[in-house]
Amino acid sequence: MATVVDKSKADIDAPIAGEAWGQRNRHVLLLLPGVVWMLLFLVIPLLMMVYVSFWTQSTFAISPELTLKSWVTFFSSDTYFGALLTTLRIWLIVLALTFLIGYPVALFIGLFVENKTLQTILLVTCVIPFWTSFLIRVLAWRPMLGRQGAINLMLQNFGVIDEPIEMLLFTDVSVIIGMVQIYVVFMVGPIAFMLARIDNAIIEAARDLGASSWTIFRKIIFPLSLPGVVVGAIFVSVMVLGEFATSAALSGRKVNLLGNIIVTQVGSLKWAFAAVIGVILTVVMGLVITVLLRIVNIRREL
C-alpha cells in the first residue's frame, strides 16, 4: 500500500520538481557558457603548456617523451635565468614609477576635482594616447630618446649638456620610460575611482577631530584608496611581466625579457623551451597577484 502511494506521489511531483530544478539552479545555467569557455581556452591550454614543457626537443622536431632537459637548460643558463631576473627588476621599477607618478594624478582627479563631469573628462584625457596604435606609441620614443633625438637636442641647445646622453635609447632606461608611459594610466584609473568614492564628510570629520592634512592622508585617504592601488598594481604587473614589444622596439635587443625569449623560441619552433618559460611566467604572475591580494581584501572593499 505504502509503495503505491509513494509512486503516485512521485509521478505528480516529477514535472513540478523538474521546473523547480531549473528555477533553483538558474545560476548554474548562467555560469555554464563562461565555465566552458574558461575550460577550453584557459585551463586545458595551461595544463597542455605544463605538459609540453616536459617534452623532448631536438633541433628540428619535438616528441612527447617526458624529460627535464628544457627545465635544466633554463636554470643552468645565465642568459635565460638572467632574463628572469631582468624581467623582475624592470617590473619592480616600472611598478614603483607608475605608482609614484600615477598616485598624485589620481589624487588630483579623484579628490581635488569635485565636479563629476570634469573628473570623467580628465580620466578620458588620460586614455587618449590609447587611440593610437601600441606600436606607434612605442616607436615614437625613438626620435625622442635617440642620440640625435629631441631630448638630447634640446638639452644641448639649452647648454645643459655638451655631449648627447648615450644611455637614453637602447638601454634599460628607454624600456622603462616606454613602459611607464604606456601603463601609468592603468594605475591612475582604479586609484582615482576609489578616491572619488570617499565621502567628503569623512575628511571633514577627521579635520574637526583635529587631525592635520598629512595625518588625514596617512590614516584615512591612503588606506581607503589601497584597494585601487592593488587593482592598479595587478593590471600593471600582469601586463609588464608579459611584455616583449616595448623592449624589442626600444632596447635594440639588448634587454631580453622572458616575453622576448618566448617570441624567439616559438619563432624557431622550440615549443618545449617556450613552454618552460610560459610556465615560469604564469607562476611568477600567480605569486605576484597572491601577494598583492594579501595586502587588502578586495572582496570586502568593492
Partner 1 sequence: MLEIVDFWKSFDGKPAIAGLSLDVRDNEYLTLLGPSGSGKSMLLRLIAGIERPDRGDIRLDGVSLLDQPTHARGIGFVLQNFALFPHMSVADNVAYGLRHRQIEPVTDESEVVKRVAAMLALVGLDGLEERMVGQISGGQRQRVALARTLVTEPKICLLDEPLGALDANLRARMTVELRQIRKALGVTFVHVTGNENEALAMGDRLVVLDQGKALQVDRPDVVYAKPAAEAVARFLNAFNLLNGRTEGERFVTGEISVALPENCSGADHYAIRYDQIAVHERGAAPAGRGDIEARYVTSEYLGSKFIYFFELAGGKMIEVEQHLSQHEPVRHRRGATYQLSWDLADVLLFDAEGRAIEALASSPARRAV
Q: Which residues bind partner 1 (CB under 8 A)?
A: 199, 201-202, 204-212, 215, 219-220, 223-224
Q: At closest approach, how far in Å is the CB of 20 from partner 1?
A: 35
Strand partners, 56: 63
C-beta of 215 vs 268, nearer to partner 1:
215
Q: At closest approach, how far in Å is the CB of 198 from partner 1?
A: 9
Q: At closest approach, how far in Å is the CB of 222 from partner 1?
A: 10
- How is residue 132 annotated by DSSP? S
C-beta of 206 vs 277, nearer to partner 1:
206
Q: At closest approach, how far in Å is the CB of 296 from partner 1?
A: 10
C-beta of 137 vs 207, nearer to partner 1:
207
C-beta of 144 vs 226, nearer to partner 1:
226
Q: CB of 237 within 8 A of CB of 289?
A: yes
- How is residue 269 annotated by DSSP? T
DSSP per-residue string spanning 27-55: HHHHHHHHHHHHIIIIIHHHHHHHHHTTS
β-pairing, 62-63 with 56-57? antiparallel
Q: CB of 235 within 8 A of CB of 187?
A: yes
Distance CA 11, CA 14 (A): 5
Distance CA 295, CA 302 (A): 15
Which residue is associated with the grid cell 633554463?
Answer: 74
C-beta of 188 vs 203, nearer to partner 1:
203
C-beta of 65 vs 199, nearer to partner 1:
199
C-beta of 6 vs 204, nearer to partner 1:
204
C-beta of 126 vs 206, nearer to partner 1:
206
C-beta of 106 vs 177, nearer to partner 1:
106
Q: At closest approach, how far in Å is the CB of 196 from partner 1?
A: 15
Q: Is residue 137 exposed (0-12), middle (13-18) or buried (19+ Cβ within 10 Å)?
A: middle
CB proximity list for 219: less than 8 A, separation 6 or greater? 206, 211
Contacts 24+ apart (CB under 8 A), 247-251: 247/90, 247/175, 249/135, 249/138, 249/139, 249/142, 249/178, 250/138, 250/141, 250/142, 250/145, 250/169, 250/170, 250/174, 250/175, 250/177, 250/178, 251/170, 251/171, 251/172, 251/174, 251/175
Pick the closest to residue 164 from 142, 138, 145 (CA basis).
145
